[in-house]
Each structure stands twice: as structure tokens, then as C-alpha cells.
Structure 1
Amino acid sequence: MDVLIMGGSHFLGRRIAEEGLRRGWQVSVFNRGRTGTNPEGVTALKGDRTSEEDLKRLAARGRWDAVVDTSGMSADTVEAATRALGPVAGRYVYLSTVSVYAGWPLLPLFEGMPTLAEAEPVEGMPTDVNVPYGQDKAQCEEAARVNAREALTILRPGVILGPHEYVGRLPWWLRRIAKGGVVLAPGRPEQPIQPVDVRDIAKFACDQAGQADGNAVFNAVAPIGHSTMGDFLAACIEATGRSDVELEWVDGDFLLSRGAKQWTEIPLWRTYPGTWQVSGRRAQDAGLVCRSLTETVADTWEWLSAGNNAVEHERAAAIGLDAAKEAALLAEWRATRG
């Protein structure tokens, strides 16, 4: 099977390329070659997806059984890519996000609910939710449908973790736990969460690329209740070997009242009720298997401990709670409890 990956040098795109190679496929990657590293064994096709001439040259290299698009961030670039590559691709798999839903993260979600290309954000959408990002990705989905049509499959992941993660959510928690001491743990330990391992998404993306039919949409997330915040932090303690760490669970309302920023300053912690209530049943019925979060955490720590670092990412600077602010929050929390 011949597969083209739009991207292929970072995190998810790289994992999809590696998974394709593992299956014995002929894998080509198309990127600018400026950041990241292409996996050994791929055919590297250098170019800029925003250039019409580069896309024409790329299309002339085809035909591919499937194109997997991991880097489409604007409707015009996705429309241009599907227009150029549609005639030379049997399938087109577009990697989107659960942020496209008009109700995320306030409402429980399934694939039939309206996106931000079809509806306004639901009433009461908080100001700290990045609605423009969801709108852009929803418009990308619509642009892909214009040309790919029946050959299109859309995958909507939520939070993706694992080795080579560049946003830095899991790496921040692992490094914080590794420092030891008393660690501020947000909210409740029993809070369900459902992040998914990058390797599991990569396998599912390749499964869908190999399907004979398209025209499908999947929420590519772990099952609801797959893990909890307490399980996650316990896994970080186990992976780093810091059995001396003390988790101090701090009430969520208290944290919000003191200006703690959910999702960024305290990664994976979010109080909105729909955040971790995204149905992945359709994807799981189609073959998505999600490994334990403990395995994801352990493998990421092993990767970090080997001296690896992900590529720089624009969102990474906002991730993590400053040590002084954490200490101040803990001190005030203890004072309020006498």
C-alpha cells in the first residue's frame, strides 16, 4: 500500500509514518523539512502545502492509495490539498479535533452533534475556550468534503499524549513530580479523564487509511472513564520513582477563585462538564484500542529520561504552573482549612 502523509515529521504525523512502515507500506511524507525529523525509511518529498506549484508537483508524483493529512490548519490549505490530491488518492484521512463541536467542552458529545461550521457556540461558552481554533478546524472539515467527498474519513481526537508530545502537558507533569515534595493536585482524584496515546491514534489512522470505503467521522478518544486524574498522577509518581511525593488535592472552585488557569497552568484539569464526556464508541467499534494511561506515562518518562525533547510549539510556553504560584496556592489552601 502506498500512503502519503501531509506532515510526518512531528508527534502524530511521525507516528503514523512509523506505523505505516511497520505494516510494510510504502510511505511518503510531504513537509517543508524545516523542523522535526522524518522517520528513517520514508520517501521525503519536500515542499510547502501553501504553495500551489508545490502541490502540483506533489500530485504529479502520485498515485497513492491514501493520503493522511495531519497538518491542515486552515480551510484554504485543506481545500487546495484535496483539490490537487483528490484525483491521485484513493482515500483522504483528515485529522481534526473534538474542538470542532459547537458544544465542546460544555456538553457530552457524539459524532452527530453540530460543529462550529454549522452552528454558533452553545450559550454560556467560557472565554478561556479557544473557539477560533475549533472554528478553523471545522471549516477545514467542510473544505475537505468539497473535493474528497465519499473518499473522506475525518478523525477527531481529544487530548493526545505520549513520547514526542510537543504541547507539553504530560512532560510538565512528569518533570514536576520528578522534583518531589508536595504537589498541588487539582480538583478530585476520581475525576474521569480520557486522553489517548499517540500510538493508538496512529494505528487507527492507518486502519482507516486501509479501508475500502470512506465518508466516515470518528471521535478518536479513549472510552469515557478510561482513567481518572488520580490514576494519572499516581502513574507519574510510579514512572518517576518518586514515592516520597505527597499529592495535596485542592478544591477546583478554590483554584479558580485564586486565578489558577485550568487546561494550561494545570494541564489536563478542566471543570467544564463535557471535557471528558466525548463518546468514542463509534471508533472503538471500528477497531480503536486504547492502551492504559499508565503505559503512556511510563513510556513518555523513558523518552524524556533519555534526554529527548519535542520540537518547539507555540502553545508550550503557556503550559505549567509556576513554582512560586503553586507554593502560594498550597499555603493559602491550608490556611483556609485551618
Structure 2
Amino acid sequence: MRLLVLGGTDFVGWAVAEEALERGWDVTVFHRGTRPSPEGAAVLHGDRTAQDGLRALEKGEWDAVVDTWSAAPCAVAAAAQLLADRVGHHSYISSRSVYTFPSPLGADESWPTVDADPESDGTDYAADKRGGELAAEGAFGSRALAVRAGLILGPRENVGRLPWWLGRIARGGPFPAPGPADLPIQYVDARDLAAWTLDAAASGLSGPYNLVSPVGHATMGDLITACTEVTGSGAEPVWITPEQVAAAGVEPWTQLPVWVPPGEAHDAMHGSDVSRALAAGLRCRPVAETVADTWEWLTSLGGTAPQRSDRPVPGLPEGAEERLLAGAR
């Protein structure tokens, strides 16, 4: 397979390129040249936000393209239109954020999506991702796949959610663990996402697929336990109720990464139906493996993970941990 990755130097794009290279595929990555490329990939440089920024893509043919773009849909549209006659299949890494909120527990790909314009120069994340889907579909038609990922974790994560938990737990001592411990969480390891996407591209799958682990694959307790064990810090989780989190004025998801309390928002974030992707071959590795590999990568960097500039830095603000622990006593 000849694969073109639009991106390929960061988190999901890197995972896709690396997985394809391990399969022996002929991989080309297109990016601005500000970061290293995966070893073994051919490289094309260009800036999708600049005039004539796609010039390097004006020649060449590929069996498949994977686009990880998460900003203005017009950039997805421009690339897709340029490549449609020279690429066999298009996979767009989208998001479950495209669904109108709140999607109920067990919602599948038929749940309504937000309004979006495929030629927009950027509005908000949900509309941009939906616009990207429409842009790809407009150019590739039935050759377009929308990979609606949920929470993405694993090595090279540049949003900082799992790295924050690992960093905090590595410091040891009692720490607030938002509960209940058996609260289900849904996520996908970037490497499992990459493997499924490449299988889907090779098979010519099209349309939208929710891509996240099935409900019951892992819980907050599983995640916290894995972090505690892999760091070897002896840190002690102090389980905090949702009511205690609220009383301390702490925000779910952003200040306590991954965690959303039981209720409407949790059902939307961690309760998606993924039977379509499972039937199409999705396999999710154990949470302990994702955590261990992320810890190994994080320690190789000296404990400081890269952070995307377009996303808020996750984690508890000063004084919040003390309030949470005090409220649990």
C-alpha cells in the first residue's frame, strides 16, 4: 500500500505512519517541517494554511490518505479536492464531538451531528471536525471514511491528560482520585486507532465509525491503579465523590483529566455504542499496557510531555488538591 499521511509528526499522525511503516507500506508524510518525521517515511513539506501551501502534493499517486487535521475545514477540503483523482481512499480522523450534545448512553453513528460548513475557515472544534468530514466526503464520496475517535491516549500524547495523571502519581503521597472507582471510561490507544484505520482503508470502508473502546473496557479505578503500579511511587489514591469534587470548585475533564461524573455528560463522553467498529475489527489493548507504554515514553523525555498550544493545559490548579483532600476527610 502507498500511504500519504497529512501530518505524521505528532501523536495520532505519528502512530498512523509508524504502524504503516511496520507493515511494510510505502509511506509519505506531508507536514511543515518543524518536527522530525518517522524514520523510513518519504517527506513532503508544505503549510496548509499558506497560499500555495499544497504545492508539494500536486504530483504523486497513493492508494490511501489519512488526514488528522483538527482546525479549519477548508484545509481538509483543499487537500481532498487536490488529491481526489490521484488517491484511492480517504480516512479523516474526526471526533465524537461532532454529535449534538448530549448524545445519550448507547448512541451510535446515527445520532444527529452539529451543523457545519466544509468550506469554513474555522468556528469551533465540533463544527470544524464535522466540516472536515463533509469536506472529505464531498471530494471522495463513497471512498471517504470518518473515524470518529473519542478520548485518545497512549505514547506521544500531546494533550497531556494521561501524562498529567502519571506525573502527579509519580510524586507519591495521598492524591485525590475522582470516583466512583467503578465508573466506566471510554478511550482509544492511538496505536489501536492507527491499526484499525489502516485496516479500514485497505478494506475500503466508508462512512462514519465511532472509534473508542467498548463500555466496560476500563474504569477510573483501572486507570488510577495502572498509574500507581507503573510509577512505583507508593502514591495513595483518596477516592473523592462527585459531590466533593463539585464542592471544591474543581472542573471535571479539564482539571481532573479523563474524569466526568455520572450523568448526562458522562453518558455522552463515555457511553458511546461502538459495535460497528468492533464488527469491523477494532481491538483495544488493556489499559495497563497503554499506561505502561506512556510512562516509558514519558520518562524517556525526562517526565515532561509536549503540550499542544491550541489546547488548555490539563490538571489541578494551585490549592485544588488540598481542597479535595480536605473535603474527603
TM-score by length of structure 2 reads: 0.92
1:322 to 300, 304, 317: 317
Provide structure 1 residue ranges, at least 5 long, that are not aligned to the other structure: 119-130
- What is the alpha-carbon distance in structure 1 between the residues aligned to residue 110 and residue 240 of structure 2? 36
Kept in 2, the 8 Å contact 1:166–1:316? The answer is no
- What is the alpha-carbon distance in structure 2 between the residues aligned to residue 57 and residue 46 of structure 1? 7
Provide Cα deviations, 1:163-199, integer angstroms capped at 9, x if missing partner.
1100010011011111111110112001001111111
Q: What residue number does 1:230 align with? A: 221
> Which shows bigger deviation, 307-316 or 224-233?
307-316
Q: What residue number does 1:24 align with? A: 24
Q: What residue number does 1:122 align with? A: none
- What is the alpha-carbon distance in structure 1 between the residues aligned to residue 76 and residue 284 of structure 2? 28
Kept in 2, the 8 Å contact 1:106–1:275? The answer is no
- What is the alpha-carbon distance in structure 2 between the residues aligned to residue 136 and residue 324 of structure 1? 35
Q: What residue number does 1:254 align with? A: 244
- What is the alpha-carbon distance in structure 2 between the residues aligned to residue 223 and residue 197 of structure 1? 12
- What is the alpha-carbon distance in structure 1 between the residues aligned to residue 104 and residue 124 of structure 2? 16
Structure 1 counterpart SS, 2:191: helix
List aligned pairs for 1:1-338, cutoff 5 A.
1-34=1-34, 36-51=35-50, 53-60=52-59, 62-104=60-102, 107-117=105-115, 132-211=124-203, 213-242=204-233, 244-271=234-261, 272=265, 273-307=267-301, 309-314=304-309, 317-322=312-317, 324-334=319-329
- What is the alpha-carbon distance in structure 2 between the residues aligned to residue 234 and residue 312 of structure 1? 24
Alpha-carbon RMSD: 1.8
- What is the alpha-carbon distance in structure 1 between the residues aligned to residue 282 and residue 252 of structure 2? 29
Q: What residue number does 1:121 align with? A: none
Letter in 1 for 2:67: D
TM-score by length of structure 1 reads: 0.89
Kept in 1, the 8 Å contact 2:6–2:67? The answer is yes
- What is the alpha-carbon distance in structure 2 between the residues aligned to residue 322 and residue 315 of structure 1? 19
- What is the alpha-carbon distance in structure 1 between the residues aligned to residue 63 and residue 293 of structure 2? 32
Please list every run of at least 4 consecutive aligned residues from structure 1 whose deviation after the TM superposition is greater than 4 angstroms: 104-107
Question: What's the offset of the Cα at 1:145?
Answer: 1.4
Letter in 2 for 1:3: L
Structure 2 counterpart SS, 1:218: strand
Letter in 2 for 1:267: P
Question: What's the offset of the Cα at 1:311?
Answer: 3.2
Question: What's the offset of the Cα at 1:317?
Answer: 4.6
Provide structure 2 residue ranges, at least 5 long, that are not aligned to the other structure: 117-122
- What is the alpha-carbon distance in structure 1 between the residues aligned to residue 307 and residue 183 of structure 2? 30
Question: What's the offset of the Cα at 1:59?
Answer: 2.7
- What is the alpha-carbon distance in structure 1 between the residues aligned to residue 229 and residue 328 of structure 2? 26
Structure 1 counterpart SS, 2:295: helix
- What is the alpha-carbon distance in structure 2 between the residues aligned to residue 260 and residue 80 of structure 1? 41
Kept in 2, the 8 Å contact 1:161–1:196? The answer is yes
Question: What's the offset of the Cα at 1:316?
Answer: 5.5
Structure 2 counterpart SS, 1:153: strand
Identity of aligned residues (%): 42
